[in-house]
Homo-oligomer: A and B are copies of this chain.
């Protein structure tokens, strides 16, 4: 019950307390090497370690072993609800495997992102998970240069240079359109996400394909500047000014909320006047008014798989890069109904 509060106990202190050399103590404390040491000594060292409250210094150990047990996670914005479940799931998997998560907001532009990734590299992260990927992402390039394994989640690059876990964006948007068509809608518009993001591009593609299959025109399309309510509303204004629609499929729930606001401002009612379908099924979106019909993506599952992919890669660097596409599902709530008349 010593007062070990001032100077954290070092391995040398344990060794002294147990009357052995510090290398012996090191081995005794390492499950993988403990068999090299006599059982009685192992016991003695472990007892000493417990007694003086020894805690291994990951920093020092990492210097020698080149293993920081740190994984970097980069998200566009932690406060964005879409990413919370993904990050949470990633962290859980990492923790279960003895890794800690170094999480960074990458709000700003690409320059800032590079800066962030360099910061992570400086901490010798063993790998990174990026939720920020653009269709051609300089950050991925930077990771490759630095030899840091990277995995993409939620957003993909145009050509898959690294392992990636995304939802089936094309298929998801198809579900949305098919649902609207089945309800009897013909004049269907689309509020798309930024085109430099895979989600924006692929969901737009899915929209086009599904509309064509239904024999409908897909010309009522406006692209939002960002995945925000405000950008959604701005896009909605443009879309509604230019087209006479009975339904809109949006690339993202926040965009749908922006559309909600504009509908309300125009005195239009959802779903009576216009049906709306979102995308992502972010937390709480089931509580909005009206409850949003949306495409549910398995965020926790994506996060988990991304983490597992990265850990596998770290364990076996020559592993092939794979792209996992997670199917999404339509969740019908109150924002869609047959068109009037």
* Residues of chain A at the chain B interface (Cβ within 8 Å): 4-6, 8, 53, 55-60, 62-63, 68-70, 77-81, 84-85, 87-88, 91-92, 95, 100-105, 107, 116, 118-124, 144-147, 257, 260, 283-285, 287-291, 300
Q: How far is the CB of A210 from chain B (nearest CB, A)?
A: 27
User: CB < 8 Å: which of B81, B88, B122 contacts A57?
Assistant: B122
CB distance B123 to A105 under 8 Å?
A: no
Interface residues of chain A: helix, strand, loop or mixed (majority): mixed
Which B residues touch A291, using CB under 8 A?
289
CB distance A123 to B59 under 8 Å?
A: yes
A62 to B77, CA, bound (A): 28
Copies of this chain present:
2
Which B residues touch A53, using CB under 8 A?
145
CB distance A122 to B56 under 8 Å?
A: yes
Which B residues touch A4, using CB under 8 A?
145
* Chain B: CB-nearest residue to A334: B289
CB distance B5 to A144 under 8 Å?
A: yes
3 interchain residue pairs of minimum CB distance: A289-B289, A79-B88, A78-B88
Q: How far is the CB of A129 from chain B (nearest CB, A)?
A: 13
CB distance A283 to B63 under 8 Å?
A: no
User: CB < 8 Å: which of B62, B103, B122 contacts A55?
Assistant: B122
CB distance B81 to A284 under 8 Å?
A: yes
* Chain B: CB-nearest residue to A112: B95
* Chain B: CB-nearest residue to A85: B79
CB distance A120 to B100 under 8 Å?
A: yes
Q: How far is the CB of A227 from chain B (nearest CB, A)?
A: 14
A75 to B80, CA, bound (A): 16
CB distance B101 to A102 under 8 Å?
A: yes
User: CB < 8 Å: which of B88, B123, B260 contacts A70?
Assistant: B123
CB distance B147 to A6 under 8 Å?
A: yes
Q: How far is the CB of A96 from chain B (nearest CB, A)?
A: 11
A87 to B78, CA, bound (A): 7
A144 to B5, CA, bound (A): 8
Whether A78 contacts B68 in the complex (CB less than 8 A), given A58-B123, A124-B59, comes out as no
Q: How far is the CB of A105 from chain B (nearest CB, A)?
A: 5
* Chain B: CB-nearest residue to A125: B100
Whether A77 contacts B88 in the complex (CB less than 8 A), given A59-B62, A100-B104, A119-B100, comes out as yes
A35 to B55, CA, bound (A): 38
Which B residues touch A58, using CB under 8 A?
122-124
- Most chain B Cβ neighbours within 10 Å, of A4, A81, A88, A107: A88
Q: How far is the CB of A106 from chain B (nearest CB, A)?
A: 10
* Chain B: CB-nearest residue to A105: B91
User: CB < 8 Å: which of B85, B147, B288 contacts A288?
Assistant: B288
Which B residues touch A88, using CB under 8 A?
77-79, 105
Q: A88-B105, A95-B105, A289-B291 are in contact. List 7 more A-B contacts (CB 8 A).
A: A6-B147, A8-B121, A60-B63, A95-B116, A100-B102, A284-B285, A287-B289
Q: Sample 8 A-B pairs with CB under 8 A, ordered by A number.
A: A5-B144, A8-B147, A59-B62, A78-B87, A79-B283, A91-B105, A100-B104, A101-B104
